[in-house]
Each structure stands twice: as C-alpha cells, then as structure tokens.
Structure 1
C-alpha cells in the first residue's frame, strides 16, 4: 500500500484473491542509554548530544512534546549528532510527526514511549524518515492512537514511516496500536519513477496489534528485516504481518527476512506481490495466522524460502500462486496448517516431483501458473 494518496486503494484483485483462499553510518556520539558496541555496531566519537528535555519536553504523559522534539532535531548541525530521549511518556501529535533528518542518531531509553495524540485523520505519522541518509533509531516504544481514533476511514496511520531514504537502521524498538501500519518502508514519487528507500535494516523490533500491517514494504532496494516479530495485525484488510507490495510505483528488490516471527495476524502472515524480486526468507516462524502462512501472488520472482517453520495457520502454510517464478523452497517444516479446513486433510496427499513423495496440500500449494519452482528437503 502506497504511503502517497495516489496509492491509497488496495487493488480489488488482490483482495478478492485473499478472500478466496517487511552499514556504515557516520560516527555519532552515544548518550547514557547506549547498548554495547557488539549489539549496536556503532562507534562512539564526537558530535553533539541534544537531550529533548533540555528543549522543553516533559515526558509526563500529558504535555504535547512534539515541538520540543522538533527543536532538539533542528539544534543538530548538518554534520550529525544525537537526539537522546530519557525515560518517560512523550505525547506526540502524529499530524505533525517527529521528522528526523540526515546524519543523526535518535536514541530512546528502553522505557521511553512516544504516544500518539488521537486524531480523526486517515493519515498520520509518529516518526517520519523522508529523503534522509544515515539515520539510526534505537530503543523505546511507539504507541499509536487506534484505540481512541475518532475517524472512521483510511488506513494510513503509521508508527514509523521511512520513504526515499538510505542507510537507515532501526533497532530494539516496540511499536503497537497504530491506525495503519506499524512500519512502512517505501518510496516517494509517481508510478514507475519513484525514489526508493535503500539499505534499510530493521533489527530486533516488535510490531504488534496494528490495524493494517505490522510492516509494509513498497519500492526499495536492499532491505534486511531480522530478529523481529510481526504479530496480531487486525482491523482493516489485509491484516498481515508483512506485506511486500510496491504496486506500480516501482520495484522492491533485494529483501531479506531472517529469524523473524510472523504470528497470530488476522490475515496472511506474509504476502509478496508484483514488481518484487530477489527476496530471501529464512529461519522464520509463521504460526497461527488466520490466512496463509506465506503467500506469493501476481508475479514475484527470484524467491528463496528456506529453513522456515509453518504451523497452525488457518489456510495453507506456504502458497506459491499467480505467475510466481524462480523459487527455491528448501528445508522448511510445514505441519498442521489449514486449521480452518481440517476436513480437507483426508484428501490432502499428492505426489510431487520435488523429492518429497508425500506432500500435504493443506501445508504446501503450488499453483499451475507458476514456473521454475524447486522444492526439496521440506518436512511435512
């Protein structure tokens, strides 16, 4: 789903399908809440550290602290620096957002919370990273305003929105209760000519109970999602943990999803759609999603799906559909899926040329329109 208004409608084709069946930064000084270097991969050196409290932030759970965050960010020199956020509950106007800039570390204490003020808009952002380079965000929590949202339309209330930016690293953050997606990574610009985000890493992030998706990925080139959890998406379709769907705006390329948990979403655990290529999904757990565990549709290509576990999903654990091509699915464990259609289990066995003599259609489905799909050493 596009972050720009021209891409606000999800294609009816995709929704009908669903019904039927997600570096080297310049050195910047660390503040008192820095994690060990071995965890951060971050080097301590010179550069100003601006504490948001010194710019007037209260963190008392009542005061609108948006202007204080803006003042702290604007106080950094163009060469870079750190904005530090001590423990507290900081109230943020998501209609204004915290707009990060290039060459900065945005460092929140583990118990620092950014809580969105309720609004009635279809679109809002707690943190925006737009047209930036060399940004690191670490620690803290984002709590969206879905529970007190006074509007009824739209699905674009974001916790963290990254667009047309490069060299962005997000770690050790908890995001929940957003009106739309917990995290969006994508592009700015018109169809076929948008500026994608590049070299973005999401590491050890939990995105849970968001209304649309835990993570959506639009046009990008070079994204790594690792050691993270995307769970409990519910409220407006597709309600997936991760949705890779650049649509006509551009291409999503070179994406790795590694050691993640995608669970208990009201839709499909993970979706991959058209204009997508070069995706590796490994060492992940897809569990308890109401739809498919992992579904490819439209015409994505060059997919590697390896060493994942698919269990207890409402529909088929792994579905390779549409005109998906050039897929390697190997070493996966698939068991106890299609829980919404247990009555099909008795007729689920079929032969396969993959080397797995007895595959369960309730666990793995490869549609006729796909091509160059290689299956090996999967366990049922």
Structure 2
C-alpha cells in the first residue's frame, strides 16, 4: 500500500514539473516572439543596431524620416568618407571609448557630417531656402582622424544639437565645428584633444552651453564668433599651441569656473565688438598672456 502511495505521489510531482516546464517554455516563446515581432507599443520604432549592417553609413541610411536610434557596437571602424546624417531626431550612440571611428581620409574630408538634405522641401512642396534639421545627438564614442583629414564633427544648420561623452582627437582641422547651429547647441563631458585647428569652433550659434569638457593641445581650445549667450563653465583647458578661449562679435555671455593653463598664447580674448560678457572665477595660469580685451564693451 505504501509503495502505491509513493508511486502516485511521484507521478503527481512529475506531472506538476512537466506542466511548469511547459508553461515556462510557452511564456519564453511568447516573450521572444514579442521582442522579435512587431512592437506592441503604439508609436514605437525599432532601434537600429549597426552590427547588423555592412557599414555604419548603411545603418544611418536605414533611419526613417521621423528619426530614430543607431547603436554602435564596440570595435574599431575605419572610414575614408564622411558619415552623413541628414535626418532630425536622431541619436547615434556608441559603447564608450570601445567604439572607435577612425577617419583615414587624407584629402581633407570630415569624419562626421550633419546637415539638412540637399533636396529639403517646404510643406507646400517647394524647395526650402533655409533648411534646418532638429535634435541630433551624438553620444559615447571615440572619433579620430589624421593630419590630412578634415574636421571630426561638422554640423551645419542643426538645431538643438547635443554632443555628450564623445572623444574627438587628432583631426587635421577643427575637432567639432558647429556652423549656424543657432538654437540651443550643447556640448558636455567631451574629450577634445590634439586637433590641428580649434577644438570647438562655434559660428553663428545662440544660447550655447559648453560644460565639463576637457580640451588639450589643440591649436586653440574654443572659438565663438557671431554668437549670443555662450555659457561656458566647468571646463579644463591645458597645453594649447596658441589661445585658450577666443570670443568675437558675440553678445551676452558668461565664461566662469574654468581652468585655463599652459596656453602658448592668450588665455581669453574678446575682440570684434563683444558686448555684455562676464568673465569670472577662472583659474588662469602659465599662459603666454592672460585676458586680452581688444574690442569689448560693457564687460565684467
């Protein structure tokens, strides 16, 4: 009798275990199917993983017109033509410095070019005379060049651009060039080093935030021309081959709490009709010269 009860008990336990395992496989299959199939969340677009494409440019080209996310895997990626982004609401994100894009071009071409499409249209279908794209973000990767390459990142007419956690080094021209990206450009927590021209070159930008970056051994660290409302704070500038901060024809700005050391030329210079600029609480040490006010009005 006891043997019969034991056998029944083992049979019931075995049946329960089989049911549990079967349910687990079913649920796992449903979860995998949901992740691989069409997204259930209304409005969602899939993340584009560049590892599944033959080139980073192919992954960028796969972005829909509405924008999206391109994830870069760890690895060393050599390019000889610019990576081009012509859509807005785009995030290009790497895996930190383990994602390394190297521009081996020796004909002065840039590593990354961001600009509106050449055939941009107005809502009425006519060509747009002043095309703009909005909200492009670059984050968490390293991009390098060589003495004969062009700029590291060249952005033109990109509103609300955000560059964060990017290492931009060894380019034959500027590290980062923002050309009339005049609506709220932000550059933060970047390492900008060993570029043949300016580390961060800003022309025609408004309401600019430059914060918590490292600049080292560029020709000049930062230049802001024809701009408004630069807020530059908490940056570390060291060992530049010419000047630290160059501000020209710019209004209503603040440069504060930066460390500016060992520039062969001027630490900070204001020139070409600067107005309403405050320089405060900066450490300025061992430069060729200190603060030079060549053409500055209403400044403190």
TM bin (shorter chain): 0.7 to 0.9
SS of the equivalent of 1:290 reads coil
Correspondence for 2:281 among 307, 310, 322: 307
Q: Work out whether 1:241 is the aligned partner of 2:204.
A: no
Separation (CA, whole Å) in 1 of partners of 2:192 and 2:245: 14
Correspondence for 1:126 among 104, 111, 124: 111
- Mind listing any 5+ residue stretches in structure 1 that lack a counterpart? 1-44, 57-67, 150-155, 188-195, 234-238, 246-250, 329-380
Deviation of residue 161 (structure 1)?
A: 1.1
Larger Rg: 2
Aligned to 1:377: none
Q: Work out whether 1:172 is the aligned partner of 2:165.
A: yes
Aligned to 2:94: 108
Q: Is the 8 A contact 1:82 1:104 kept in 2?
A: yes
TM-score (norm 2): 0.77
Separation (CA, whole Å) in 1 of partners of 2:66 and 2:262: 46
Q: Work out whether 1:88 is the aligned partner of 2:53.
A: no
Q: Work out whether 1:206 is the aligned partner of 2:191.
A: yes
Aligned residues: 241
More helix by share: 2
Separation (CA, whole Å) in 2 of partners of 1:297 and 1:142: 32
Q: Is the 8 A contact 1:100 1:127 kept in 2?
A: no
Q: Work out whether 1:50 is the aligned partner of 2:35.
A: no
Separation (CA, whole Å) in 1 of partners of 2:99 and 2:157: 27
Aligned to 2:146: 145
SS of the equivalent of 1:223 reads strand
SS of the equivalent of 2:150 reads strand
Deviation of residue 47 (structure 1)?
A: 2.6
- Mind listing any 5+ residue stretches in structure 2 that lack a counterpart? 1-42, 117-132
Deviation of residue 101 (structure 1)?
A: 2.1
RMSD (Å) for aligned C-alpha atoms = 1.6
SS of the equivalent of 1:47 reads coil
Q: Work out whether 1:227 is the aligned partner of 2:212.
A: yes
Separation (CA, whole Å) in 1 of partners of 2:83 and 2:64: 20
Separation (CA, whole Å) in 2 of partners of 1:84 and 1:71: 12
| Cα distance per residue 1:274-315 (max 9 Å; x no partner) | 2x1122111101101001111112211110111111111122
Q: Is the 8 A contact 2:56 2:83 kept in 1?
A: no
Q: Work out whether 1:273 is the aligned partner of 2:274.
A: no
Q: Is the 8 A contact 1:73 1:101 kept in 2?
A: no
SS of the equivalent of 1:102 reads coil
Q: Is the 8 A contact 2:228 2:252 kept in 1?
A: yes
SS of the equivalent of 2:60 reads helix
